Amino acid sequence: MRNRTLLILTIIIATSIPTAQATFVEMEKTHTPEKTEYFCGETLEFNITITVRTTAGGPILSIEDLKIIDYLAPGVTILPGNWTSTPSSNFTDYGNGTLLWDFGPGPFTTEPQATVAFNVTVNQNAPENTYIINTATAKYNETVSGAASAPTVTDTIQIIYPIINITKYCSGPILEGGWINYTIILTNHGHMDDENITLTDHLPPGTIYTPGTASATSGTLDESQLPGKLLWRGVLPNVTGLNTVNITIPVQDDPLEYSQQHTNNASFTELTGCERVERRWVTCNTTVLHPQLNLEKTCTASSTTEPANVTYIYTLTNTGDTIIFNATVFDQTLNQTIIPPIHLPPGATVSANLTLLNVSAGTHTNIALAWGTPPLEPPVNDTDSATCTIREKPPAFVGGAVTRAYPPQLVGLALAVNLLLLGLVAKKLAGPY
């Protein structure tokens, strides 16, 4: 019998009621093993003793037609054939928890005893903390003028179980590639030890577990079913300070597999009824955040030639799955903030335009930066550029002829070339002499 701290009362009542013949009956009820707490499937024996006594100075009389009746409370079942009586009797099981031992007409004289004993087993469906109160009484002298009944006696036991409570916590949310800590707490709140518990943690797909990194405050971790499952085995006593185990399992989000959420399940085998079954599934969800900003920059010109007005268009979109705080667009080329800090929900877009007037000819490339802060560090950013090309202003037309202004050096060179060409032409036309 295990040492228990819970106080359970076993009531043994010995009573006496005198009959008209100055004879009385004492009745006692006990059980073995002599303990008060029983677990499902355990067997115990109830014993009932009837003693006939005579009041002091009274004549020696007897009783007749003795019958012992026992009322089994729900939660226990009599084992067939496991009953005895002294002296012999006719036994009847009425099937509703009522048991009868009929000792016949008797008689029983002063201070003889009649005893019955029977074995019962605790039912599988007997609830935790149920008090099984077994009740018995006796009847006698039903065929004579002194018909009487013995007072009722009771015997009480308590049904106990280990009651295991499981709690699970997971860290998060996390960024893509971040770490999750799963914490599982098992506590025995019952009235007996729970031995050979097995807890199974189902590691979610898309996570990476590094062997040897899990820990437990007691028991043994089993990594033989990796990848996918991590097991813990151990004992949970019902002793304060020893009735809890903490299990910690770190995993990393696999950045090569896009995941929006990781669902971790855990279950354990528990004594319930007369069997150990797997039950008490607990689930823990961790959200994986994918913060992302997308900056698109374009430019348009009012004319293809100088001078032209150039308009830059900045479009910032939150293409991630979480809000971005203080989203900002800054034009690096112009050294100017284009979109001041704004909170940008997932899928939201904000735009801004900036126009430069009278831009001269040339290829104009402009670079802009965008950044913001998600709920979890670090910040996210993006960059984009846009290029606009403006051609030179075309020459002016005067009187249908194209006039251009040239530097004096080029004018003199052109005149000399023209005179040389004219001389060669004239010589050719004159021919040989």
pLDDT in tens, 130-143: 788 889 988 887 65
Query: What average pLDDT score do residues 31-54 get?
Result: 84
Report how far residue 384's alpha carbon sits from residue 386's, in angstroms, rounded to the nearest whole number. 7
What is the average per-residue pLDDT within 192-201? 81
Note the pLDDT tens digit of each residue in 339-365: 999 999 999 999 999 999 999 999 999
Q: What are phi and psi of 173, to 5 degrees?
A: -70, 165
Q: What is the predicted pLDDT for the residue at 77?
A: 87
Residue bearing the bigger pLDDT, 28 or 2: 28
Mean pLDDT of the chain: 80
| Higher per-residue confidence, 240 vs 158 | 158
Which residue matches tokens 């004549």?
59
pLDDT bracket for residue 282 (50, 70, 90) = confident
Average of pLDDT values for 301-311? 92
Alpha-carbon radius of gyration of the chain: 50
For residue 410, is pLDDT > 80?
A: no
**What are the structure tokens assigned to 70, written together?**
């026992």
Sign of CA dihedral 270, 272, 276, 279: negative
User: What local confidence, expressed as pLDDT, does residue 17 receive?
Assistant: 41
If you average pLDDT over residues 48-54, what whole number do you get? 80
In the chain, the amino acid numbered 394 is P
At 13, the pLDDT band (50, 70, 90 cuts) reads very low
- Whether the predicted pLDDT of 10 surpasses 90: no
Quote the CA–CA distance of 68 and 136 in Å, as a whole number.
Answer: 7
> In percent, how much of the chain has pLDDT > 90?
41
**Cα gap 20→2, rounded to integer Å:** 48
The average pLDDT across 205-229 equals 93
The pLDDT value recorded for residue 23 is: 62
What is the pLDDT averaged over residues 423-429? 55
Choose from 25-39, 98-112, 218-232 the range with maximum mean pLDDT. Answer: 218-232
**Number of helices followed by number of strands (H, E) in the chain:** 1, 30
Predicted TM-score (pTM) of the model is: 0.60
Predicted local distance difference test score (pLDDT) of residue 57: 54
**Environment class of 30 (CB within 10 Å of its CB; exposed 0-12, middle 13-18, buried 19+):** middle
- Name which of 406, 402, 411, 342 is nearest 370 in CA terms: 342
Q: Domains along the chain?
A: 23-159 (2.60.40.740), 164-289 (2.60.40.740), 293-390 (2.60.40.10)
The position carrying tokens 């609830």 is: 127
* pLDDT for the residue numbered 276: 56
Tokens, residue 348 = 């939201």
**pLDDT over 90 at 223, yes or no:** yes
Q: Is the pLDDT of residue 85 over 80?
A: yes
Place of tokens 């295991």: 164
Q: What is the mean pLDDT of residues 270-292?
A: 75
Is the pLDDT at 41 greater than 90, yes or no?
no
Distances 106 to 2, 65, 87, 88, 109 between C-alpha atoms, Å: 43, 6, 10, 11, 9
Weakest-pLDDT range from 38-47, 190-199, 285-294: 190-199
Q: Is 409 helix (H, G, I), strand (E, B) or coil?
A: helix
- In the structure, what pLDDT confidence band is assigned to residue 421 with cuts at 50, 70 and 90? low
Q: Is the pLDDT of residue 367 over 90?
A: yes
